Amino acid sequence: MLRATPGERARAAADALGDEVLTGWCADLLAGRAVWGDPGLPDVGWVGGRAAAGWGSPERLDDDTRHWSRVWAARTCAGLVTTDDVPRVRAAAARALGVVGEGEHAAALHEAVHDPDVAVRSAAVRALGVLARRLDREI
């Protein structure tokens, strides 16, 4: 799974860990409530892929590179927003990106605005508004 794309890892992690655990963990990583590599949390390979086994492993990250854990968590959420089979997961990932995502995650939210599920569409629209206000720019 380490060589899989972020979207593939996100789907596999949701299947293995459960939707609530994965989205909660990613949101906690993004918000700084969880620490990259904490042994009580899921394996960092789920979100970091190959990099988590090499240069991005928890013991090698420092204050200058620790932001990568947030980037990988956001990519996982972005992958869930657009690819997960469960609407509840897509909506939860959209909400997480709105609260803690960056401008680069707006494309996934814009795509989710056209989701077949009304709850996902609604979450994506709200998330885009939250993201734009938080980043103080058009998204």
The pLDDT, as a whole number, for residue 106 is 95
**Cα distance between residue 18 and residue 102, in whole Å:** 25
**Cα distance between residue 3 and residue 138, in whole Å:** 34
Lowest mean pLDDT among 35-49, 52-66, 123-137: 52-66
Average pLDDT, the chain: 89
**Cα distance between residue 108 and residue 111, in whole Å:** 5
**pTM of the predicted model as reported, rounded to 2 decimal places:** 0.75
Residue 11 has pLDDT above 90, yes or no: no
Ranges of each domain in the chain: 6-135
Which tops the pLDDT comparison, 74 or 126?
Answer: 126
Instruction: For 54-90, write each residue's pLDDT tens digit.
Output: 888 888 888 888 888 888 888 888 888 888 888 988 9
